[in-house]
Amino acid sequence: MTTVPPASSAPGPASSNRVVDRAVAAIEAIIAERGLTPGARLPSERAMVAMIGTSRGSLREAIGRLSAAGLLSVGPRGTTIAAPLAARWAEGTIAAPLGARIAADPGYGRDVLEVRQGLERQAAFHAARRALPADRDHIRRCFDAMIDSHGSGDAGDEAQADAAFHLAIARASHNAVLHSVMSSMFGLLRSSISDSLEKLYTVPRTFEQLSDQHRRLMETILAGDAEAARDASDAHIQFVETTIRGIDEERARQVRAAALHAPSIPQDRQKSRS
C-alpha cells in the first residue's frame, strides 16, 4: 500500500508544500503500480485519502497540480482519470537537463520564450477551432485564478497560475502531442514565467497590460476566432520578450555607467600595494 506520513494539524507553508509533494508522488506511484493507462479511473477520493494517509485538501491540491501538468484530468462527476505518464519521461529527459542549463545561464530563458511562441501560437489557433464547452469553462476558471493570484506576494503562485492558464489552452487544442510537449515543459514554463514576471513587474502598469493580453487571448479562443487567437498569442509573447530585452539592456547600461564613474585607485597606491 502506498502511504504518506500524515500532515500535522497546522502545517506552515513549507511543510504543507512537502505534504502535497508527497501526495503527488504517491498518486504517481498508484498509477504506475496499478498499470493504469489513459482513460482509466483512479480510486475514489475517499479511498485515496485512506491509501495515501493525507487530508482531502492536500489530495485535491496534488490532483490539481497533476491536472495542470496534464497528467490527470477531472471528469464530470469529479472523478480523476489517469493521463499518459509519458510527460514525466519527457520532463526527465528533456526539461530537467534544460532546467539546469537555464539556471547556469539566464540567456537560455530567451530560448524558452522562442519555443513558447512557437508552441503557444499553435495551441491558441487549434483551441479556438476545437475547444469544447468544458474546455472553455476550464480556460475561464484558469484565467480567473490567474487574475486572483496577482498581489499574493508569492511570485511562484502567480507563475503557477499563469502557466496553468496557458496549459489549459494547450489542452483545449485537442492535439495530444502538443499538449504532452507543453505539459512536459511545465516546470520550465513556470520558471520562465516566474523570471519574466519578476522583471516585468518592475515596469509600471505591466500587470494591466498582461491582463489585457491574456483576456484578449481568452476571448478570441472562446469566440472561435483561430487567426485572432494566434495573433493574440504572438502579441503576448512578443510583448514579454521585447519588454524583458529592454529591461536587461537598461540594467547592463547602468552597470557600465557605474563602472565608468567608480573611483579609480591612484597609480602610486597601486604600486605600494604590490
| Residue 96, pLDDT score | 62
Torsion of CA 182, 114, 108, 248, to 10 degrees: -130
Residue 116 has a pLDDT of: 87
pTM, full prediction: 0.63
Contacts (Cβ under 8 Å, ≥6 apart) of 215: 143
Domain 87-258 has CATH 1.10.260.40: no
SS (H, E, C) the chain: CCCCCCCCCCCCHHHHHHHHHHHHHHHHHHHHHCCCCCCCECCCHHHHHHHHCCCHHHHHHHHHHHHHCCCEEECCCCCEEECCCHHHHHHHHHHHHHHHHHHHCCCHHHHHHHHHHHHHHHHHHHHHHHCCHHHHHHHHHHHHHHHHHCCCCCHHHHHHHHHHHHHHHHHHCCCHHHHHHHHHCHHHHHHHHHHHHHHHCCCCCHHHHHHHHHHHHHHHHHCCCHHHHHHHHHHHHHHHHHHHHHHHHHHHHHHHHHHHHCCCCCHHHHHHHC
Please report the pLDDT score of residue 144 as a whole number.
95
Q: How far is CA 145 from CA 99, 142, 211, in A?
A: 26, 5, 12
Answer for the pair 160, 168: CB distance below 8 angstroms, yes or no.
Answer: no
Q: What is the pLDDT of residues 127-169, one digit of tens each?
A: 999 999 999 999 999 999 999 988 766 667 788 888 889 989 9
Residue 167 CB coordination number (10 Å): 25
The pLDDT assigned to 79 comes to 52
Give me the pLDDT at residue 138, please.
Answer: 92
pLDDT of residue 254: 87
Fold category of 13-82 in CATH: Arc Repressor Mutant, subunit A (1.10.10)
pLDDT at 186: 67
Residue 5: what pLDDT? 41
Q: Where are the domains of the chain?
A: 13-82, 87-258
Q: What is the pLDDT along the chain (274 residues), one digit of tens a residue?
A: 444 444 434 445 556 677 888 888 888 777 766 767 677 788 888 999 999 999 999 998 888 888 776 677 777 665 566 555 555 555 555 666 676 676 667 677 788 888 889 999 999 999 999 999 999 999 999 999 999 988 766 667 788 888 889 989 998 998 877 887 887 776 677 777 777 777 777 777 888 999 999 999 999 999 999 999 999 999 999 998 888 888 888 888 888 888 887 676 555 555 555 5
What's residue 81's pLDDT? 64
Q: Taking a C-beta distance cutoff of 8 angstroms, is the pair 188, 98 a contact?
A: yes
